[in-house]
Structure 1
Amino acid sequence: MILSGGMDSTTAAYIAKSEGYEIVALHFDYRQRTQRREHEAFDAICDALAVANRYVIDLPFFEQIGASALTDASIDVPTGGIEEGVPVTYVPFRNGIFLSIAAAVAEKERAEALYIGVVEEDSSGYPDCREDFIAAMQKAINLGTKEETNLVIKTPLVHLKKEDIVKTALEYGVPLELTWSCYQNEDEACGVCDSCRLRLKGFEKAGIEDPIAYKIRP
Protein backbone atom coordinates (compact mmCIF):
# COMPACT_ATOMS: atom_id res chain seq x y z
CA MET A 1 0.00 0.00 0.00
CA ILE A 2 1.50 3.30 -1.14
CA LEU A 3 0.43 5.56 1.72
CA SER A 4 1.15 9.27 1.56
CA GLY A 5 -0.94 10.18 4.57
CA GLY A 6 -3.54 11.93 2.44
CA MET A 7 -7.26 11.26 2.34
CA ASP A 8 -7.22 9.23 -0.89
CA SER A 9 -4.42 6.80 -0.06
CA THR A 10 -5.74 6.36 3.49
CA THR A 11 -9.20 5.50 2.20
CA ALA A 12 -7.64 3.02 -0.24
CA ALA A 13 -5.75 1.46 2.68
CA TYR A 14 -8.94 0.98 4.67
CA ILE A 15 -10.57 -0.62 1.61
CA ALA A 16 -7.59 -2.97 1.29
CA LYS A 17 -7.92 -3.97 4.92
CA SER A 18 -11.65 -4.59 4.49
CA GLU A 19 -10.84 -6.91 1.58
CA GLY A 20 -8.78 -9.09 3.88
CA TYR A 21 -5.26 -8.06 2.96
CA GLU A 22 -2.41 -7.84 5.43
CA ILE A 23 -1.07 -4.37 4.75
CA VAL A 24 2.55 -3.56 4.05
CA ALA A 25 2.68 0.25 4.15
CA LEU A 26 5.08 2.19 1.97
CA HIS A 27 5.77 5.92 2.37
CA PHE A 28 8.09 8.24 0.47
CA ASP A 29 10.04 11.16 1.89
CA TYR A 30 10.96 12.96 -1.32
CA ARG A 31 11.79 16.42 0.09
CA GLN A 32 8.26 17.67 -0.48
CA ARG A 33 7.34 20.89 1.31
CA THR A 34 5.12 19.07 3.82
CA GLN A 35 7.38 16.04 4.28
CA ARG A 36 7.39 16.17 8.10
CA ARG A 37 3.61 16.48 8.34
CA GLU A 38 2.93 13.76 5.76
CA HIS A 39 5.32 11.41 7.56
CA GLU A 40 3.52 12.17 10.82
CA ALA A 41 0.17 11.37 9.17
CA PHE A 42 1.58 8.12 7.76
CA ASP A 43 2.70 6.97 11.21
CA ALA A 44 -0.64 7.87 12.80
CA ILE A 45 -2.64 6.07 10.10
CA CYS A 46 -0.44 2.98 10.32
CA ASP A 47 -1.02 2.96 14.09
CA ALA A 48 -4.77 3.24 13.53
CA LEU A 49 -4.65 0.33 11.07
CA ALA A 50 -2.30 -1.68 13.31
CA VAL A 51 0.21 -1.98 10.47
CA ALA A 52 3.41 -3.59 11.71
CA ASN A 53 5.30 -3.81 8.42
CA ARG A 54 6.23 -0.28 7.31
CA TYR A 55 8.73 1.08 4.84
CA VAL A 56 9.81 4.71 4.59
CA ILE A 57 11.86 5.34 1.44
CA ASP A 58 14.14 8.37 1.21
CA LEU A 59 14.13 9.93 -2.29
CA PRO A 60 16.21 13.13 -2.22
CA PHE A 61 16.71 13.24 -5.99
CA PHE A 62 13.31 14.89 -6.61
CA GLU A 63 14.68 17.97 -4.87
CA GLN A 64 17.79 17.76 -7.03
CA ILE A 65 15.88 17.81 -10.32
CA GLY A 66 13.33 20.39 -9.09
CA ALA A 67 10.71 21.34 -11.70
CA SER A 68 7.85 21.14 -9.17
CA ALA A 69 6.47 23.57 -6.62
CA LEU A 70 6.31 20.67 -4.17
CA THR A 71 10.07 20.06 -4.22
CA ASP A 72 11.58 23.33 -5.47
CA ALA A 73 11.47 26.22 -2.99
CA SER A 74 11.99 28.72 -5.81
CA ILE A 75 8.59 27.83 -7.33
CA ASP A 76 5.55 29.14 -5.47
CA VAL A 77 2.64 26.82 -4.73
CA PRO A 78 -0.33 28.27 -6.67
CA THR A 79 -3.17 29.56 -4.49
CA GLY A 80 -5.45 31.19 -7.03
CA GLY A 81 -7.58 28.17 -7.77
CA ILE A 82 -7.31 25.05 -9.87
CA GLU A 83 -6.03 25.78 -13.39
CA GLU A 84 -6.17 23.88 -16.66
CA GLY A 85 -3.20 21.87 -17.89
CA VAL A 86 -0.37 20.31 -15.95
CA PRO A 87 0.13 22.41 -12.79
CA VAL A 88 3.48 23.39 -11.34
CA THR A 89 2.75 21.04 -8.41
CA TYR A 90 3.21 18.04 -10.72
CA VAL A 91 6.33 16.08 -9.73
CA PRO A 92 7.87 14.51 -12.86
CA PHE A 93 6.83 10.84 -13.17
CA ARG A 94 6.36 10.59 -9.41
CA ASN A 95 3.75 7.83 -9.44
CA GLY A 96 5.76 5.85 -11.99
CA ILE A 97 8.79 5.97 -9.71
CA PHE A 98 6.71 5.21 -6.62
CA LEU A 99 5.10 2.21 -8.32
CA SER A 100 8.47 0.89 -9.49
CA ILE A 101 9.89 1.02 -5.97
CA ALA A 102 6.67 -0.39 -4.54
CA ALA A 103 6.93 -3.28 -7.01
CA ALA A 104 10.37 -4.14 -5.67
CA VAL A 105 9.06 -4.12 -2.11
CA ALA A 106 5.98 -6.12 -3.14
CA GLU A 107 8.14 -8.75 -4.83
CA LYS A 108 10.32 -9.05 -1.77
CA GLU A 109 7.24 -9.36 0.47
CA ARG A 110 5.56 -11.81 -1.96
CA ALA A 111 2.54 -9.55 -2.17
CA GLU A 112 -0.46 -10.27 -4.37
CA ALA A 113 -1.71 -6.72 -4.83
CA LEU A 114 -0.35 -3.20 -4.88
CA TYR A 115 -2.77 -0.44 -3.87
CA ILE A 116 -2.46 3.21 -4.86
CA GLY A 117 -5.01 5.96 -4.27
CA VAL A 118 -4.89 7.63 -7.69
CA VAL A 119 -8.01 9.46 -8.86
CA GLU A 120 -8.92 10.19 -12.50
CA GLU A 121 -10.40 13.52 -11.38
CA ASP A 122 -6.79 14.65 -11.01
CA SER A 123 -5.68 13.22 -14.36
CA SER A 124 -6.22 16.40 -16.39
CA GLY A 125 -3.39 17.89 -14.38
CA TYR A 126 -1.45 14.80 -13.35
CA PRO A 127 -0.82 12.37 -16.22
CA ASP A 128 0.46 9.67 -13.85
CA CYS A 129 -3.00 9.40 -12.21
CA ARG A 130 -4.69 8.04 -15.34
CA GLU A 131 -6.11 4.53 -15.36
CA ASP A 132 -4.43 3.63 -18.66
CA PHE A 133 -1.06 4.63 -17.21
CA ILE A 134 -1.63 2.37 -14.19
CA ALA A 135 -2.58 -0.52 -16.51
CA ALA A 136 0.62 0.00 -18.50
CA MET A 137 2.69 0.04 -15.30
CA GLN A 138 1.09 -3.19 -14.12
CA LYS A 139 2.05 -4.89 -17.39
CA ALA A 140 5.61 -3.55 -17.22
CA ILE A 141 6.04 -4.58 -13.59
CA ASN A 142 4.91 -8.14 -14.26
CA LEU A 143 7.16 -8.37 -17.31
CA GLY A 144 10.13 -7.14 -15.30
CA THR A 145 9.79 -9.31 -12.20
CA LYS A 146 10.15 -13.02 -11.43
CA GLU A 147 7.76 -15.44 -13.07
CA GLU A 148 6.08 -16.24 -9.77
CA THR A 149 5.45 -12.54 -9.14
CA ASN A 150 2.01 -11.62 -10.41
CA LEU A 151 1.00 -8.25 -9.04
CA VAL A 152 -2.36 -6.60 -9.55
CA ILE A 153 -2.33 -2.83 -9.10
CA LYS A 154 -5.59 -1.89 -7.40
CA THR A 155 -7.01 1.62 -7.71
CA PRO A 156 -10.33 1.54 -5.81
CA LEU A 157 -10.88 5.30 -6.04
CA VAL A 158 -9.84 5.94 -9.61
CA HIS A 159 -13.33 6.77 -10.94
CA LEU A 160 -14.64 8.60 -7.87
CA LYS A 161 -15.21 12.31 -7.39
CA LYS A 162 -13.79 13.90 -4.25
CA GLU A 163 -17.19 14.06 -2.57
CA ASP A 164 -17.63 10.34 -3.22
CA ILE A 165 -14.25 9.66 -1.67
CA VAL A 166 -15.33 11.55 1.45
CA LYS A 167 -18.50 9.45 1.67
CA THR A 168 -16.56 6.24 1.04
CA ALA A 169 -14.06 7.17 3.74
CA LEU A 170 -16.86 7.57 6.26
CA GLU A 171 -18.38 4.23 5.23
CA TYR A 172 -15.08 2.49 5.96
CA GLY A 173 -14.45 4.33 9.23
CA VAL A 174 -11.41 6.23 7.97
CA PRO A 175 -10.05 8.63 10.63
CA LEU A 176 -10.04 11.65 8.32
CA GLU A 177 -8.77 13.86 11.13
CA LEU A 178 -5.41 12.04 10.85
CA THR A 179 -4.98 12.70 7.13
CA TRP A 180 -3.09 15.58 5.52
CA SER A 181 -3.56 17.04 2.05
CA CYS A 182 -2.11 20.58 2.11
CA TYR A 183 0.70 21.28 -0.36
CA GLN A 184 2.41 24.10 1.51
CA ASN A 185 1.73 24.18 5.28
CA GLU A 186 2.63 21.67 7.99
CA ASP A 187 0.98 23.07 11.12
CA GLU A 188 -2.37 24.27 9.76
CA ALA A 189 -3.72 23.52 6.29
CA CYS A 190 -3.61 26.64 4.13
CA GLY A 191 -7.06 26.18 2.58
CA VAL A 192 -6.07 27.88 -0.69
CA CYS A 193 -3.63 25.55 -2.49
CA ASP A 194 -5.02 23.26 -5.20
CA SER A 195 -5.06 20.23 -2.92
CA CYS A 196 -6.83 22.03 -0.06
CA ARG A 197 -9.40 23.50 -2.46
CA LEU A 198 -10.14 20.10 -3.99
CA ARG A 199 -10.46 18.49 -0.58
CA LEU A 200 -12.68 21.24 0.86
CA LYS A 201 -14.88 21.17 -2.26
CA GLY A 202 -15.31 17.42 -1.79
CA PHE A 203 -16.38 17.81 1.83
CA GLU A 204 -18.74 20.66 0.91
CA LYS A 205 -20.42 18.63 -1.85
CA ALA A 206 -20.69 15.66 0.51
CA GLY A 207 -22.41 17.91 3.06
CA ILE A 208 -19.80 17.12 5.73
CA GLU A 209 -17.38 19.37 7.59
CA ASP A 210 -13.70 18.59 7.18
CA PRO A 211 -12.33 17.71 10.66
CA ILE A 212 -8.86 19.20 10.14
CA ALA A 213 -7.96 22.82 10.90
CA TYR A 214 -7.53 25.37 8.10
CA LYS A 215 -5.93 28.79 8.12
CA ILE A 216 -8.53 29.89 5.55
CA ARG A 217 -11.76 28.14 4.60
CA PRO A 218 -12.78 29.69 1.24
Structure 2
Amino acid sequence: MTASVDAGRALVVLSGGQDSTTCLYWALARFSHVEAVTFDYGQRHRVELASARTIATLAGVRQTVLPIDTFSALGGNALTDDIAPEAAAGDALPNTFVPGRNLIFLTFAAAYAYQHQLGHIVTGVAQTDYSGYPDCRENTLKALELAINLGMDARLQLHAPLMFLSKADTVRLAQSVGAFDALAHSHTCYEGQVPPCGQCAACQLRARGFAEAGVADPLLVRTGG
Protein backbone atom coordinates (compact mmCIF):
# COMPACT_ATOMS: atom_id res chain seq x y z
CA MET A 1 0.00 0.00 0.00
CA THR A 2 1.45 3.36 -1.06
CA ALA A 3 2.22 5.75 1.81
CA SER A 4 -0.07 8.74 2.21
CA VAL A 5 1.50 12.18 1.77
CA ASP A 6 -0.11 15.61 1.51
CA ALA A 7 0.30 17.14 -1.95
CA GLY A 8 -0.06 20.66 -0.59
CA ARG A 9 2.88 20.36 1.82
CA ALA A 10 6.53 20.82 0.90
CA LEU A 11 9.98 20.40 2.41
CA VAL A 12 12.83 22.62 1.20
CA VAL A 13 16.47 21.60 1.54
CA LEU A 14 17.88 24.86 2.93
CA SER A 15 21.65 25.29 3.00
CA GLY A 16 21.65 29.02 3.69
CA GLY A 17 22.92 29.78 0.19
CA GLN A 18 21.52 31.87 -2.62
CA ASP A 19 19.88 29.02 -4.52
CA SER A 20 18.19 27.23 -1.63
CA THR A 21 16.92 30.57 -0.28
CA THR A 22 15.35 31.32 -3.65
CA CYS A 23 13.78 27.87 -3.68
CA LEU A 24 12.35 28.39 -0.20
CA TYR A 25 10.45 31.45 -1.35
CA TRP A 26 9.48 29.70 -4.60
CA ALA A 27 7.91 26.98 -2.48
CA LEU A 28 6.16 29.47 -0.20
CA ALA A 29 4.46 30.92 -3.29
CA ARG A 30 3.18 27.50 -4.37
CA PHE A 31 2.40 25.30 -1.39
CA SER A 32 0.03 25.69 1.54
CA HIS A 33 2.57 24.47 4.08
CA VAL A 34 6.36 24.69 3.83
CA GLU A 35 9.10 23.41 6.13
CA ALA A 36 12.88 23.49 5.79
CA VAL A 37 15.56 20.92 6.53
CA THR A 38 19.22 21.86 6.93
CA PHE A 39 22.11 19.40 7.10
CA ASP A 40 25.04 19.81 9.45
CA TYR A 41 27.50 17.65 7.51
CA GLY A 42 30.69 18.90 9.08
CA GLN A 43 31.07 21.86 6.72
CA ARG A 44 34.05 24.03 7.62
CA HIS A 45 32.15 27.28 7.40
CA ARG A 46 29.56 27.17 10.18
CA VAL A 47 28.26 30.52 8.98
CA GLU A 48 26.18 28.50 6.51
CA LEU A 49 24.15 27.03 9.38
CA ALA A 50 23.66 30.46 10.94
CA SER A 51 22.50 31.83 7.58
CA ALA A 52 20.00 29.00 7.13
CA ARG A 53 18.61 29.57 10.62
CA THR A 54 18.19 33.31 10.02
CA ILE A 55 16.55 32.76 6.63
CA ALA A 56 14.10 30.19 7.99
CA THR A 57 13.13 32.65 10.73
CA LEU A 58 12.64 35.48 8.23
CA ALA A 59 10.49 33.21 6.06
CA GLY A 60 8.47 32.06 9.05
CA VAL A 61 9.01 28.36 8.41
CA ARG A 62 9.85 25.51 10.73
CA GLN A 63 13.47 24.42 10.30
CA THR A 64 14.95 21.08 11.31
CA VAL A 65 18.72 20.61 11.42
CA LEU A 66 19.89 17.05 10.85
CA PRO A 67 23.47 16.03 11.74
CA ILE A 68 25.38 13.98 9.16
CA ASP A 69 29.05 13.73 10.04
CA THR A 70 30.04 11.05 7.53
CA PHE A 71 31.23 13.51 4.88
CA SER A 72 33.79 15.08 7.18
CA ALA A 73 34.96 11.60 8.15
CA LEU A 74 35.41 10.70 4.48
CA GLY A 75 37.22 13.97 3.75
CA GLY A 76 38.93 14.76 0.48
CA ASN A 77 37.05 17.94 -0.44
CA ALA A 78 37.38 21.66 0.21
CA LEU A 79 34.02 22.03 1.94
CA THR A 80 34.82 19.76 4.88
CA ASP A 81 38.64 19.71 4.89
CA ASP A 82 41.08 22.54 5.54
CA ILE A 83 42.19 22.78 1.92
CA ALA A 84 41.84 25.65 -0.54
CA PRO A 85 39.05 25.42 -3.13
CA GLU A 86 40.44 24.67 -6.58
CA ALA A 87 38.83 24.81 -10.01
CA ALA A 88 38.38 21.71 -12.12
CA ALA A 89 41.37 20.54 -14.16
CA GLY A 90 40.62 18.79 -17.42
CA ASP A 91 37.79 16.30 -16.97
CA ALA A 92 38.14 16.25 -13.18
CA LEU A 93 35.56 17.84 -10.90
CA PRO A 94 36.59 20.75 -8.65
CA ASN A 95 37.62 19.82 -5.12
CA THR A 96 34.47 21.53 -3.83
CA PHE A 97 32.53 18.49 -5.07
CA VAL A 98 31.43 16.33 -2.13
CA PRO A 99 30.74 12.85 -3.59
CA GLY A 100 27.22 11.65 -2.83
CA ARG A 101 26.20 14.78 -0.92
CA ASN A 102 23.00 15.60 -2.78
CA LEU A 103 22.05 11.93 -3.03
CA ILE A 104 22.33 11.57 0.73
CA PHE A 105 20.68 14.91 1.48
CA LEU A 106 17.67 14.17 -0.68
CA THR A 107 17.30 10.65 0.68
CA PHE A 108 17.27 11.96 4.26
CA ALA A 109 14.91 14.74 3.18
CA ALA A 110 12.59 12.13 1.68
CA ALA A 111 12.66 10.12 4.91
CA TYR A 112 11.74 13.28 6.84
CA ALA A 113 9.01 14.15 4.32
CA TYR A 114 7.60 10.63 4.56
CA GLN A 115 7.39 10.84 8.36
CA HIS A 116 5.76 14.29 8.30
CA GLN A 117 3.34 13.77 5.37
CA LEU A 118 5.08 16.29 3.12
CA GLY A 119 4.41 15.44 -0.51
CA HIS A 120 7.03 17.64 -2.18
CA ILE A 121 10.77 18.08 -1.73
CA VAL A 122 12.41 21.19 -3.17
CA THR A 123 16.14 21.50 -3.85
CA GLY A 124 18.27 24.28 -5.32
CA VAL A 125 20.46 22.13 -7.56
CA ALA A 126 21.03 23.42 -11.09
CA GLN A 127 22.41 21.63 -14.12
CA THR A 128 23.49 24.94 -15.64
CA ASP A 129 25.78 25.75 -12.70
CA TYR A 130 29.43 26.20 -13.65
CA SER A 131 30.72 23.27 -11.59
CA GLY A 132 29.00 20.49 -13.50
CA TYR A 133 28.43 18.40 -10.38
CA PRO A 134 26.88 15.11 -11.56
CA ASP A 135 24.46 14.99 -8.62
CA CYS A 136 22.95 18.31 -9.74
CA ARG A 137 21.74 16.98 -13.08
CA GLU A 138 18.13 16.37 -14.04
CA ASN A 139 18.72 12.71 -14.90
CA THR A 140 20.19 12.12 -11.43
CA LEU A 141 17.15 13.66 -9.73
CA LYS A 142 14.71 11.69 -11.86
CA ALA A 143 16.49 8.44 -11.08
CA LEU A 144 16.65 9.30 -7.39
CA GLU A 145 12.97 10.22 -7.25
CA LEU A 146 12.11 6.85 -8.75
CA ALA A 147 14.37 5.00 -6.32
CA ILE A 148 12.99 6.88 -3.31
CA ASN A 149 9.38 6.21 -4.23
CA LEU A 150 10.05 2.55 -4.93
CA GLY A 151 12.05 2.15 -1.74
CA MET A 152 9.50 3.96 0.44
CA ASP A 153 6.39 2.92 -1.46
CA ALA A 154 5.47 6.59 -1.61
CA ARG A 155 4.52 9.31 -4.06
CA LEU A 156 6.99 12.04 -3.22
CA GLN A 157 7.89 14.60 -5.87
CA LEU A 158 11.33 16.16 -6.20
CA HIS A 159 11.40 19.73 -7.53
CA ALA A 160 14.45 21.61 -8.81
CA PRO A 161 13.05 24.96 -10.00
CA LEU A 162 16.50 26.33 -10.85
CA MET A 163 17.60 23.31 -12.88
CA PHE A 164 17.92 25.06 -16.25
CA LEU A 165 18.12 28.70 -15.16
CA SER A 166 21.15 30.92 -15.59
CA LYS A 167 22.38 32.70 -12.47
CA ALA A 168 20.83 35.91 -13.81
CA ASP A 169 17.48 34.16 -14.23
CA THR A 170 17.81 32.79 -10.71
CA VAL A 171 18.25 36.35 -9.44
CA ARG A 172 15.16 37.45 -11.37
CA LEU A 173 13.18 34.54 -9.93
CA ALA A 174 14.30 35.46 -6.41
CA GLN A 175 13.13 39.00 -7.01
CA SER A 176 9.74 37.86 -8.31
CA VAL A 177 9.04 35.59 -5.31
CA GLY A 178 10.11 38.16 -2.73
CA ALA A 179 13.33 36.50 -1.58
CA PHE A 180 15.61 39.56 -1.62
CA ASP A 181 15.31 40.42 2.09
CA ALA A 182 16.33 36.86 2.94
CA LEU A 183 19.12 36.83 0.34
CA ALA A 184 20.73 39.65 2.29
CA HIS A 185 21.53 37.00 4.93
CA SER A 186 22.51 34.16 2.58
CA HIS A 187 26.02 32.77 2.34
CA THR A 188 27.83 31.64 -0.80
CA CYS A 189 31.54 32.36 -0.30
CA TYR A 190 33.81 29.30 -0.39
CA GLU A 191 36.19 31.10 1.95
CA GLY A 192 33.48 31.51 4.58
CA GLN A 193 33.94 35.26 4.75
CA VAL A 194 31.35 37.89 5.66
CA PRO A 195 31.40 40.20 3.74
CA PRO A 196 32.18 37.64 1.01
CA CYS A 197 35.72 37.50 -0.38
CA GLY A 198 34.57 38.32 -3.92
CA GLN A 199 37.42 36.25 -5.38
CA CYS A 200 36.44 32.58 -5.07
CA ALA A 201 34.53 30.82 -7.83
CA ALA A 202 31.26 30.89 -5.88
CA CYS A 203 31.50 34.63 -5.23
CA GLN A 204 32.32 35.35 -8.85
CA LEU A 205 29.43 33.24 -10.12
CA ARG A 206 27.02 35.00 -7.76
CA ALA A 207 28.36 38.43 -8.70
CA ARG A 208 28.01 37.69 -12.39
CA GLY A 209 24.39 36.67 -11.93
CA PHE A 210 23.44 39.88 -10.16
CA ALA A 211 25.40 41.97 -12.65
CA GLU A 212 23.68 40.33 -15.62
CA ALA A 213 20.29 40.77 -13.96
CA GLY A 214 21.10 44.44 -13.43
CA VAL A 215 20.31 44.53 -9.71
CA ALA A 216 22.41 44.96 -6.58
CA ASP A 217 23.17 41.92 -4.45
CA PRO A 218 21.30 42.49 -1.16
CA LEU A 219 24.06 40.66 0.74
CA LEU A 220 26.64 43.19 -0.42
CA VAL A 221 24.25 46.03 0.35
CA ARG A 222 23.80 44.72 3.90
CA THR A 223 27.46 43.95 4.61
CA GLY A 224 29.11 46.71 2.59
CA GLY A 225 31.06 44.12 0.62
* Structures share fold, TM-score greater than 0.5: yes
CA contact under 8 A between 1:190 and 1:216: conserved in structure 2? no
Instruction: Quote how far apart the aligned CAs of 1:122 are.
Output: 2.2
Q: Is 1:188 the counterpart of 2:195 in the alignment? A: yes
Q: CA deviation at 1:55?
A: 1.1
Is 2:77 the counterpart of 1:72? no
Would the aligned equivalents of 1:123 and 1:130 in 2 still touch at CA under 8 Å? no
Match of 2:166 among 140, 161, 164: 161
Q: How far apart are 1:211 and its partner, in Å?
A: 2.2
For 1:40, give the aligned amino acid. Answer: A
Q: Distance in 1 between matches of 2:161 and 2:30?
A: 11
Q: Does the residue aligned with 2:72 lie in a helix, a strand or coil?
A: helix
Match status 1:89 vs 2:89: no
Gaps of 5+ in 1: none
Displacement of 1:21: 3.4
Identity %: 39
Per-residue deviation, residues 176-217 of structure 1 (Å, max 9, x unmatched): 201111112243211111111110110111111212249997
Q: Secondary structure at the match of 2:44?
A: coil
The list of structure 1 runs, each at least 4 consecutive aligned residues, that deviate by more than 3 angstroms after superposition, is: 81-85, 213-217
Q: Structure 1 residues 82, 216: closer, same or farther in 2, change over 3 A?
A: farther
Aligned runs of 1:19-168 on 2, under 5 Å?
Answer: 19-34=30-45, 36-52=46-62, 54-73=63-82, 75-78=83-86, 85=91, 86-122=93-129, 125-145=132-152, 147=153, 149-168=154-173
State the distance in 1 between where 2:47 and 2:196 align. 10
Secondary structure of the residue aligned to 2:104 is helix
Instruction: Identify unmatched segments of 5+ residues in structure 2.
Output: 1-11
CA distance in 2, matches of 1:122, 1:83: 17
How far is the alpha carbon of 1:123 from its aligned partner?
6.8
Alpha-carbon distance in structure 1 between the residues aligned to 2:60 and 2:66: 20
Which has a greater percent of strand? Answer: 2
For 1:159 and 1:150, locate their aligned partners in 2 and report how far apart those are by CA, in whole Å: 24
Read off the aligned partner of 2:77 and give its amino acid letter: S
User: Helix, strand or coil: the match of 1:113?
Assistant: strand
Aligned-pair Cα RMSD in Å = 2.0
Matched, 1:10 2:21: yes
What's the CA shift for 1:48? Answer: 1.4
> For the residues of structure 2 that align with 1:124 and 1:43, how far apart are their CA atoms?
26
Give TM-score, length-normalised by structure 2.
0.87
Give 1:84 shift.
5.8
Q: Residues of 2 paired with 1:189 and 1:83: CA distance?
A: 25
Mapped partners of 2:57, 2:84: distance in 1: 33
TM-score (norm 1): 0.90
Equivalent residues of 2:20, 2:124 under 8 A apart: yes
Letter in 2 for 1:77: P
Deviation at 1:150, TM superposition (A): 0.7
